[in-house]
Amino acid sequence: MPGNDRYTSVMLHFESSLADDNDFGNSGNSPHTWTTSSATVSSTFSKFGTGSLNNGAGTGATITPISNDFLFGSGNFTIDTWINLQGGTNLQKDIAGMITAGATNRPFTLVVIGSSFVNFATTTSTGGLVNFTGSIAVTTASSWTHIAVVRSGSTLSIYVNGILDASIAITGSITALTSTNNLAIGVQGDSVVSTPFNGFIDEFRITTGVARWTTNFTPPVVAYDTYPGIQLTVESDFISQKTEIVAY
């Protein structure tokens, strides 16, 4: 399925490795390097393909260093992934985030709270903390659930399995990154690890500059793939023009 295009700043398929398959900047961007602590790549359990991230019994973390690729600013963005909860006793289960312990700077945190509801939080330049929770229960008992968080203009939305779950107004720019805001999967941040995710994560994608969905949608039915684009090129002695179609 298309969906890995020049706006994709993170694309993790977890196919036997932590290779970042992003196509950010029309392949001009170097993939990010990821390291794990306890988390592993499962070769026996996945939503698509042959692998997924196994966050163990809620003890793992997968981290990549700070990057301007994750600097959302005041523009649109999308964070989406498939999750498979495996139980656990934590009332909060962290999917991903960029927060540092004791810091007010929070580019974002994406978690499941109350055992089954999706929560997203961020800090902005004008509105302070923006924190909201959906009401659609995330399926447990080893079922896969698609989660998407989308900023479109002044609206921030959570989608669960393609259904709009909750929306909230947002103004200003997402808090700028600091040297300690590494991007983490399976925990809220590389130093905030008390409520890790217990289960599997697949097809983790961050999109910078595009709101992939603004209405209800059908979740992906196959893995995202690099989108070659449909390009129309007109060349003469005076003009060379190219048009690109963005995939979702």
Domains of the chain: residue spans and CATH: 2-243 (2.60.120.200)
Average pLDDT of span 148-177: 94
Residue 137 predicted with pLDDT over 50 = yes
Nearest-angstrom CA–CA distance, 10 and 34: 11
**pLDDT, position 86:** 83
Rounded to whole angstroms, what are the CA distances from 50 to 45, 59, 92, 140? 7, 22, 28, 21
* Poorest-pLDDT segment among 33-37, 75-79, 159-163, 205-209: 33-37
Q: How far separated are the first and last CA of the chain, in Å rounded?
A: 9
**pLDDT, position 58:** 56
Nearest-angstrom CA–CA distance, 210 and 127: 22
Give pTM, 2 decimals.
Answer: 0.86
Nearest-angstrom CA–CA distance, 224 and 203: 7
**pLDDT, position 89:** 60
Between 47 and 57, the more confident residue is: 47
Between 140 and 133, the more confident residue is: 133
